[in-house]
């Protein structure tokens, strides 16, 4: 395959950026190269979802599919040096899967075939190696969230989830917990250094924060806290089976074209 010209590469990068609307402008960085693109199934807290993924020479990008892959939303961008991949065996619900771990969020994805899975993993690792020069940084990674359907009871107190005792996720351990078991909030720096996040009692204590006496009474009694707001479900609930039959296979743009010559 002939090496892409700088202009051809830039046209590809612009096409991806434009597909995300105004949010895509941050993808227009000098020296950025589109290495590969395709669709993967991402496991969210509620169900599996079809997502469009784009591998650049320095970042991994994904978003929700709006119109036949031509329009996307909910742009997510992660520097390759912040990514750790873990290969996984086939599960009951997801085949050809692996784990993508980042400081802010960790999640499972699966490809249409074993060959596509290997291509994604190898090309991500190859591009990451060029960015890091083989030297990984020491990072704290977010734990994966337990899917909602995985447990009918709180994984801390074993109370059954109901219409009023709703499911929540501890942002530190990823366990499914009820409201009374996750009243406290704490800053988890590698996820968000400015925002107080929902955490369960064991994780709150593990962070070295001592519980005030009033909070102990609320926790032990199951009383309602002002912070016990409902979680927002912002993930799009799209059934992957809707497009599996017309799967757009992973495209490796060009093995030779990693960074434009300057």
Domains located in the chain, CATH noted: 6-141+237-252 (2.30.29.30), 167-221 (3.30.40.10)
pLDDT in tens, the chain (262 residues): 345 678 889 999 999 999 999 999 999 999 999 999 999 999 877 778 889 999 999 999 999 999 776 899 999 999 999 999 999 888 777 889 999 999 988 999 999 999 999 999 999 999 999 998 866 667 787 778 887 877 889 988 989 999 899 999 898 888 889 999 999 898 888 888 888 999 998 888 888 754 444 344 444 444 443 333 333 333 344 444 444 444 456 676 654 544 444 3
Q: Are 177 and 169 in contact (CB under 8 A)?
A: yes
Predicted structure pTM score: 0.71
Distances from the Cα of 195 to the Cα of 50, 169, 187, 225, 231, angstroms = 29, 16, 6, 18, 15
**40 in helix, strand or coil?**
strand
Q: Are 141 and 103 in contact (CB under 8 A)?
A: yes
Phi, psi of 86 (to 5 degrees): -130, 115
């Amino acid at each position: 395959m002939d090496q892409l010209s700088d202009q051809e590469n830039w046209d590809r990068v612009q096409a991806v950026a434009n597909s995300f609307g105004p949010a895509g402008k941050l993808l227009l960085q000098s020296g950025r190269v589109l290495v590969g693109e395709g669709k993967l199934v991402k496991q969210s807290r509620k169900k599996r979802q079809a997502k469009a993924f784009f591998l650049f020479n320095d970042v991994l990008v994904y978003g929700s599919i709006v119109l036949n892959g031509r329009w996307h939303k909910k742009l997510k961008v992660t520097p390759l040096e912040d990514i750790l991949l873990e290969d996984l065996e086939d599960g009951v619900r997801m085949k050809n899967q692996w784990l993508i771990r980042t400081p802010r969020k960790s999640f499972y994805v699966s490809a249409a075939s074993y060959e596509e899975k290997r291509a994604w993993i190898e090309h991500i690792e190859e591009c990451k190696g060029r960015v890091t020069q083989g030297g990984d940084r020491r990072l704290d990674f977010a734990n994966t969230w337990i899917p909602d359907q995985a447990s009918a009871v709180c994984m801390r107190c074993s109370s059954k989830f109901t219409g009023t005792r709703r499911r929540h996720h501890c942002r530190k351990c990823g366990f499914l917990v009820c409201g009374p078991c996750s009243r406290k909030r704490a800053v988890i720096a590698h996820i968000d250094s400015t925002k107080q996040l929902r955490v369960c009692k064991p994780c709150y204590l593990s962070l070295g924060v001592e519980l005030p006496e009033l909070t102990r009474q609320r926790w032990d009694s199951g009383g309602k806290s002002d912070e016990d707001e409902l979680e927002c479900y912002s993930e799009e609930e799209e059934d992957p089976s809707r497009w599996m039959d017309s799967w757009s296979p992973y495209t490796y743009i060009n093995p030779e074209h990693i960074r434009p010559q300057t």
